[in-house]
Amino acid sequence: MSLDDWALALHVLSAFSLVAGVIFFWVLIVAVRQADTAERTLRLGPLTRVADAAVGVGMGGTILLGIWLAFSVGGYEIWNGWIVAAIVLWLIAAEFGRRTSAAFAVGVRKARELDAAGQSGPNSELLKVNRTRSGVLLQALSSAVVLLIIIDMIWKPGA
Amino acid sequence: MSVFAIIRPDSWNFPLLLHVFGAMVLVGGLLSAVGSLAFARGDARLLRLGYWALLAVSLPGWLAMRIGAGWISSKEGWDNLPEDALPTWLRAGGFIADAGGLILLVSLVVGGVGVYRLREGKGSGLLKATLLLSVVLLGAYVVAAWAMAGKPD
C-alpha cells in the first residue's frame, strides 16, 4: 500500500468514526428522553464522552486526510467543485454539531444543579429540557449534512 | 493509472452508497452497543439500551451493507470470477461481512435471552457475552472497512 492508499483508508475509517459517533448520539437522544432524574441524566455522561471522541476523531481525520488526498492524488484538485462542496458541508456539520451539543448541555447542567441540591426524585423541568426539540432538530440537520457529504464523496459531481 | 482516478459509472453509485452507509450504520450500532453495555455496570436501563442499539441499528445496518455488497459486486462483475481470482481485500471483506453477520445473530440471541432475564434480576452475564461479541465484531468490521478502502493485495 502506498502512502496515498493509507491516507485513503484512514480517511474512510475517519468517516466511519464520524457516522458511528453521530449514530451513538441518536441512541443517547432516545435514552435521555426518558431521563427524569439527575442520576439517570448524569449516568449517560461516560457514554456521551465515547460518542464525542468518535465524532472528534471522525471530524479531524476526514478533513485533514481529505485535504491531504486532494493535494496528493493525481487528477484531483482542492478547488474541484465536489471537494469544495465537501469542505463547506463539513463546516456546516461542525457548526450544527456544536449547536446540538449546546442544546443538550442544558439538561446536563440542570441535572448537576439538582444533584448538588440533593434532589434525587423525578423532575418535570429536567425531563422537559432533556426532550429539547431544538436539539433533536439540530441533530437531524447535522446528520443530514453528514449524509450529503457521503453522497458527495461517492458521486463526486463534476469529477 | 492511480485507482483514485478511476471514475465509476453512475449506475454503480447507489449500490455503493447502500453498501458503505449500511456498513457505517452497522459500526455505529456496534459502537453504541459496546459503549452502553460497557458502562452499564449492572444498570438494567443501559443494558437494554445497548441491546436495542444492536437489534434496531446494527442489524438493519448489516442487512443494508450485505445487500449493497451483493449488488455492487454483481455490477462490477466480481460474481463472474472464480473465488481464487478475487483480490485478497474482497475475499477478506466478504468473509468478515458474512462471518460477522453470523456472530451478530448469535450475540442478538444471547443478548435477547439476557434482556428477557433482566426482569428477574438476572441476565447481566449473558449481556456481558453480548458485549464481548460486539467488541470482536467492532474490531473485525474496522479491519474490513480498512481492507475495502485501502485495498491491500
Residue B54 near residue B30, CB atoms below 8 Å: yes
Instruction: Please give the pLDDT value at position A83.
Output: 97
- Rounded Cα distance between A131 and A32, Å, is 7
> pLDDT per residue over B78-136, tens digit each?
888 888 888 889 999 899 999 999 999 999 999 999 999 999 988 889 999 999 999 99
For residue A115, the tally of other CB atoms under 10 A from its CB is 15
Q: Identify all chain B residues contacting A7, using CB atoms and an 8 Å cutoff.
A: none
> pLDDT per residue over A122-149, tens digit each?
999 999 999 999 999 999 999 999 999 9
Instruction: Please give the pLDDT value at position A74.
Output: 83
Instruction: Please give the pLDDT value at position B1.
Output: 37
Kindly tell me if the per-residue pLDDT of B16 is higher than 50.
yes
Share of chain B above pLDDT 90, in %: 73
> pLDDT per residue over A68-125, tens digit each?
999 999 888 999 999 999 999 999 999 999 999 999 999 999 999 999 999 999 999 9
* pTM across the whole model: 0.94
Chain A and chain B share a number of CB contacts under 8 A equal to 107
Mean pLDDT of B132-150: 95
Instruction: Please give the pLDDT value at position B123.
Output: 84
> pLDDT per residue over B31-72, tens digit each?
999 999 999 998 999 999 999 999 999 999 999 999 999 999
Residue B62 host element (H or E): helix B59-76
CB contact under 8 A, B45 and A40: yes
ipTM > 0.90, yes or no: yes
Top residue of A23, A37, A146, A151 to mutate, by most chain B CBs within 10 Å, is A23
Select the residue of A23, A154, A156 nearest B25 (Cβ to Cβ): A23
Only one residue has cell 428477574, namely B120
Instruction: Please give the pLDDT value at position B7.
Output: 66
CB contact under 8 A, B57 and A75: no
CB contact under 8 A, A5 and B152: yes
> pLDDT per residue over A19-61, tens digit each?
999 999 999 999 999 999 999 999 999 999 999 999 999 999 9
Nearest residue to A16 (alpha-carbon basis) of A57, A75, A47, A45: A57
Average pLDDT, chain A: 96
The pairs formed by A68-71 with CB atoms below 8 angstroms and a separation of 24 or more are A68/A7, A69/A4, A69/A7, A69/A8, A69/A11, A69/B4
The three-state DSSP-derived secondary structure of chain A is: CCHHHHHHHHHHHHHHHHHHHHHHHHHHHHHHCCCCCHHHHHCCHHHHHHHHHHHHHHHHHHHHHHHHHHHHCCCCCCCCHHHHHHHHHHHHHHHHHHHHHHHHHHHHHHHHHHHHCCCCCCCHHHHHHHCCHHHHHHHHHHHHHHHHHHHHHHHCCCC
- Which chain B residue's Cα is nearest to A7? B150
Instruction: Please give the pLDDT value at position A129.
Output: 97
- Rounded Cα distance between A138 and A141, Å, is 5
Q: CA separation (Å) from B111 to A25, A28, B122, B125, B136?
A: 22, 20, 12, 9, 15
Select the residue of B16, B142, B152 nearest A154 (Cβ to Cβ): B16
CB contact under 8 A, B24 and A159: no
Q: CA separation (Å) from A41 to A34, A44, A47, A127?
A: 9, 6, 11, 9
Rg of chain A (C-alpha set): 19
CB contact under 8 A, B149 and A9: yes
Q: For chain B, how many residues are written?
A: 153
Instruction: Please give the pLDDT value at position B6.
Output: 55
Q: Which of the four pLDDT bands, split at 50, 70 and 90, describes residue B3?
A: very low
